[in-house]
Structure 1
C-alpha cells in the first residue's frame, strides 16, 4: 500500500522553507503527503476528521506542544480503537517543544518525517481531563500554579527572541509574587490538602520551556505521574527561589510530593488554571484519568518516555 500522510501545520509555520523542502523531498520519495494549515480553534479537529475519512495512515502535528495536543485530542475524540485510527507523529516547530524534547523527537523537519518511515507506531497513553462538564485531552503534561502562570504570561515577542529561555526569564520576574493555590488533590492511595505553588500531572515529563515536573513519567504505562509543590516558607522558600533564579529546577525535588496512579481529582477553593499542553483551562474541579494505549505514535528508538520492557519488544 502506498504511503499516505497528512501534515496538519500551525499557520505560524506556513512560510518555513525547511518545512517546504522536507515536504517536497518526502513526496519525491513516493509518499503522498498532504498539508493543511490551521488558523483558528477547531481547524485541527476538522482536518483530523477529514484525514480519517480519507484513510490517511499517519497524521503529523507540525507546530509546538499546543498543536500536538490539539491533534492528539482530535484523534482521541473518535471512538475507534487506536489500531484503527491513523498513527500520530510530531514535527516540532514551537518555542519550547517540551514533549518532543523529552521524547527526543528530532526538531529538523526532514528528520521528523524520516522518523515516520523508519519506526513502527507505538501505543501511547493520553490524559483525559473533565472540567465543568467539558472533556479535554492531554498528551504531554497538565500543570497548574506557578508554571502555568509563567506560560500564560510569557510574551510572544520574548518567546521568539529567547525561545524556551523566555519561560525562565518570566519565571524569575514572578518569583517574588507567587500566589499559592488552596487545593485538595486526591486519588488512589494519595490524599493531599493544602496550598500549592505548582502542580504537575504527567503523561510526559516537562512543560513551560524545560521545567521537569514529572521526571519519571512514561507514556505507555497506563499511569499518570503526580507532582505537588507545596507553599514554601522561611529559609526553604529563599533557598528554592535562589536556585530557581539560577535555572536549577532540581531544587523542587527537596519539597515535592509525588505519586503514580490511574486517576486523580483536583479541587480548588477558587477557580484555577490547569495548563493542558500549553492551553489553559480554568475550573474549580478537575477529574483527570490516564487512558491506556489511546493512540499510536511514531517515536525514536530508545525513546526515554517509553517503558524499558516495552522498548525491548520493539
Structure 2
C-alpha cells in the first residue's frame, strides 16, 4: 500500500506555473490509496520547520514538489533519517532529479515513482554541523553571480542571472583559495571551485561530470586563474561537461573538503549557504530516495 505521504510544496516553482500541476499529482497519489497531507510554509524557514515536524511523525515518505531549492529544503528534513525522500520535479533545472534518473518532464510519471516505493540509498554532503546538500556546492565566480542576481529585482527568471553575469565579469578577478582535500592542502588562484555530490547544477551545468551520488566521495572541480576572454570561451562547455579537458581545470576527489577564500559566499543546490571558511563532508547512504 502507498501509505502516508507528506508533500512539501513550492507554489512559486517555474514562476508559479507549477500550481496547475499539483492537483493532478495529489489526485494520482490519493487514487492509488495514499493518505496525503500537503505542507505549505509561509517562508522557507517555516516550511522547513513544518517538514521536520512531519518527518518526526514518521510518514512513509516526504515528497518535494518543486525545483532543486525545494529538494534542498526536504533534504534538511530527511537526511540521516529513515524517512524516504520523493521528488516531483517542477522547477527550472531539476538537476537533482536528473542525477537520480527521475522523470523530469512528466509529473504523473514522477508520482508513480513515489507510489512504487522502491528505495535507493544515496550520499549527501554535510556543511558544518547542520546543513546538507545533495548536488553541488559552488564558490567563486558562479556564487558571486548568484549574490548579484539575488539583489536584482529585474529582469525576471533566468534573464536576471545573465545580467548579473555580465555585471560580475566587469570587476571579477581570480580568487586565492586554500582547499583541503582529506589530508592534502592545495593553495591556488581560481575562478571557481565546485564540490559535487552529483554532476550538475544551475539548470544543467555539468561542472562535476563524473560525480556519482552513491560512491562515498565528493568530486572537486577547480577552474584555475585564466584571462577573462579565455574563461568566457571555456564556460559554455560546462553544459556538456567537456570543460574538464581545459588546461586550467583540475579534478580531484575526497571525502572531506575544506574551502577558504576571502569574501566568498558559498551556494549549494542553488541555495545560499554562507561565507567561507567551510567544511564539506560526504555521508554515505545519508539519504533514502524513492527511485
Q: Does 1:288 align with 2:280?
A: yes
Q: Matches of 1:174 and 1:283 in 2, distance apart?
A: 18
Q: Matches of 2:33 and 2:168 in 1, distance apart?
A: 51
The answer as to whether partners of 2:178 and 2:259 remain within 8 angstroms in 1 is yes
| 1:127–1:25 distance in 2 versus 1, CA, 3 Å | same
The structural deviation recorded for 1:176 is 4.3
Q: Matches of 1:28 and 1:64 in 2, distance apart?
A: 24
1:63 aligned to which of 63, 66, 74: 66
Q: Matches of 1:189 and 1:39 in 2, distance apart?
A: 43
Per-residue Cα deviation, 1:11-31 (whole angstroms, up to 9, x for no partner): 325771121112112212211
| 1:253–1:158 distance in 2 versus 1, CA, 3 Å | farther
**Structure-1 residue corresponding to 2:237:** 248
Q: Matches of 1:181 and 1:120 in 2, distance apart?
A: 44
Aligned residues: 281
The answer as to whether partners of 2:28 and 2:111 remain within 8 angstroms in 1 is no
The answer as to whether partners of 1:99 and 1:204 remain within 8 angstroms in 2 is yes
SS of residue in 1 equivalent to 2:102: coil
**Structure-2 residue corresponding to 1:98:** 95
The structural deviation recorded for 1:89 is 1.2
Per-residue Cα deviation, 1:198-227 (whole angstroms, up to 9, x for no partner): 111111111123221111111111111111
Q: Matches of 1:283 and 1:175 in 2, distance apart?
A: 20
RMSD over aligned CA atoms reads: 2.4
Q: Matches of 2:153 and 2:171 in 1, distance apart?
A: 21
Q: Matches of 2:153 and 2:265 in 1, distance apart?
A: 19
Q: Does 1:276 align with 2:265?
A: no
The structural deviation recorded for 1:144 is 0.8
What are the residue-to-residue correspondences of 1:127-142 with 2, within 5 Å? 127-130=125-128, 135-142=130-137
SS of residue in 2 equivalent to 1:207: coil
**Structure-1 residue corresponding to 2:25:** 22
1:265 aligned to which of 246, 255, 258: 258
Q: Does 1:147 align with 2:142?
A: yes
**Structure-2 residue corresponding to 1:211:** 205
The structural deviation recorded for 1:64 is 1.5
Q: Matches of 2:174 and 2:77 in 1, distance apart?
A: 33
The answer as to whether partners of 2:122 and 2:285 remain within 8 angstroms in 1 is yes
What are the residue-to-residue correspondences of 1:105-254 with 2, within 5 Å? 105-107=102-104, 108-118=106-116, 120-130=118-128, 135-154=130-149, 158=155, 160=157, 162=158, 167=161, 170-171=164-165, 174-188=168-182, 190-233=184-227, 237-244=228-235, 247-249=236-238, 250-251=242-243, 253-254=245-246
What are the residue-to-residue correspondences of 1:9-88 with 2, within 5 Å? 9-13=9-13, 16-76=19-79, 82=81, 85-88=82-85
Scaled by the length of structure 1, what TM-score is found? 0.80
**Structure-1 residue corresponding to 2:86:** 89
Q: Which moved more, 1:254-263 or 1:171-180?
A: 171-180
The answer as to whether partners of 2:244 and 2:250 remain within 8 angstroms in 1 is no
| 1:140–1:97 distance in 2 versus 1, CA, 3 Å | same
The answer as to whether partners of 1:167 and 1:209 remain within 8 angstroms in 2 is no
Scaled by the length of structure 2, what TM-score is found? 0.86
The answer as to whether partners of 2:122 and 2:213 remain within 8 angstroms in 1 is yes
The answer as to whether partners of 1:11 and 1:38 remain within 8 angstroms in 2 is no
Where does the alignment leave 5 or more consecutive residues of structure 2 unmatched? none
Q: Matches of 1:278 and 1:296 in 2, distance apart?
A: 21
